[in-house]
A and B are shown apart, each in its own frame.
Chain A
């Protein structure tokens, strides 16, 4: 794998200003994510990780600093986001939801059909193509969201705690499914989570974030061989140590923000 910079963040800062109050959501974040890397941003709620992701997703502008996503194929969109569970559009069928990004790019109908069918099959929803989201379980909705992002074939994928609302069993299943699809495409992924287990299972690298102002306080490489399963992570002694180490870091952060 060539280590080529895919995403470069340069001293990103975002301040939210309201009347006479200002809150520094993220402060001075610089980092580089390599091509094909799966990176998890791990931190307590309110640490600004969602803000960072929303900036990369083009939904928020940074106050200062800049970022760059290096484009390889000019036809591909720069990024697509896998939203939280509510992000599946209720008035579109499963099929139309998956095809949404392709439609917005006005690709030829044949291409849209082909790619939609391919990813519907990938996430095992080909028999549910014509249902509306209200008829789906939470896990199935997230499969729609994942298929929608992958079908769009973006340069990078952004994921905003996509499994946070799922029960634990479904979460494990979807995490492994996500890894399977990802392994096939080897897209660069920036994934947000507050679950240490999830981060260790998915990522090549974990970035630990501090709370308010959000800064990256520590970086951890996860060298577990792929393909991985939850059992691998749980049974690996080194990972157990890593877990404790990460937990201790986060704990001091959460405690610190509480006493502030």
Chain B
């Protein structure tokens, strides 16, 4: 009887403890949601009361209204479309060769020794600084913008892919060797899946860099795209319209990271 009561009491104590932990977790979730809302509200308030200059910092509600208007006229969609196309095509143009070169660099040390000085030398140059040369080589059309993105995406992916292969635990390489894997099997069964987690980190980075690059490239040498919207509206001093461009970039950046994170859990279910 006594024992029974003791157990009940112990369960009661742990129940309280569990509830406390849950309350704490909920509070943290609330914090995560509250920070952007708080900033937006503060911005709205300061702008409406003219404590900050509403010409430079129009209230968020006004930016949203402007977005709605630009959407109604349909004009903004053509800019979004062209930017997304550039990002997407440029991304693939950079990621695919980067994965192949990265895997080869990771698997074969002669290839690694040959390519790594080239990678190291070109990586620190901001792609935008190469834009004039890219324009000379590829002209001022769409393709040069895709190449710009491709180059900027290439480096983080190639480095991470090579590192991913190199960091595969030696024991798996021994297993493959002991069980007679040929070069092709080794590539597809060991090197590619084994390097995938680190490779995807590189792709995640490349995705962020692609957005940075496209906006900057469109600011410098384009007459369409989200970057162009930002730059032209700034020049025309239509700041709500400019902010719409910034909001769009933020939105797509977030969306792309979510997509790649989703891809991560799909592609590496074993992690």
Contacts and interface: CB of A to CB of B under 8 A. Distances in A.
A136 to B, nearest CB: 11
Contact of B179 (A90, A104, A134): A104
Interface stretch (A27-35, A77-85, A238-246, A249-257): A77-85
Given A86-B169, A104-B181, A91 B175 contact: no
B269 A83 contact: no
Contacts of B259: none
A100 B270 contact: no
Interface in A87-124: 87, 89-92, 100-101, 103-105
A214 interface: no
B238 to A, nearest CB: 52
B177 interface: yes
Nearest to A134: B270
Q: How large is the interface on A (under 10, 10 to 19, 20 to 34, 35 or more residues)?
A: 20 to 34
B270 A91 contact: yes
Contact of A105 (B176, B178, B180): B180
Given A91-B194, A132-B270, A133-B270, A84 B171 contact: yes
Nearest to B179: A101
Nearest to B174: A59
A225 interface: no
Nearest to B185: A104
Given A86-B169, A104-B185, A81 B270 contact: no
Contact of A58 (B172, B177, B269): B177
A62 B44 CA distance: 76
Interface residues of B, number: 22
Contacts of A100: 175, 179, 189
B263 interface: no
A152 interface: yes
Contacts of A92: 189, 270
Contacts of B169: 86
A152 B269 contact: no
B221 interface: no
Contacts of A91: 193-194, 196, 268, 270
Contacts of A83: 171, 174-175, 178
A9 interface: no
B100 to A, nearest CB: 20
11 contacts: A57-B178, A77-B180, A81-B174, A81-B178, A83-B178, A87-B172, A92-B270, A103-B185, A104-B182, A132-B270, A133-B270
Interface of B: 169, 171-172, 174-182, 185, 189-190, 193-194, 196, 268-271
Given A59-B177, A86-B171, A105-B180, 12 more contacts: A79-B178, A86-B169, A87-B171, A87-B174, A90-B270, A91-B194, A92-B189, A101-B179, A103-B189, A104-B176, A104-B181, A148-B179
Interface of A: 57-59, 77, 79-81, 83-84, 86-87, 89-92, 100-101, 103-105, 132-134, 148, 152
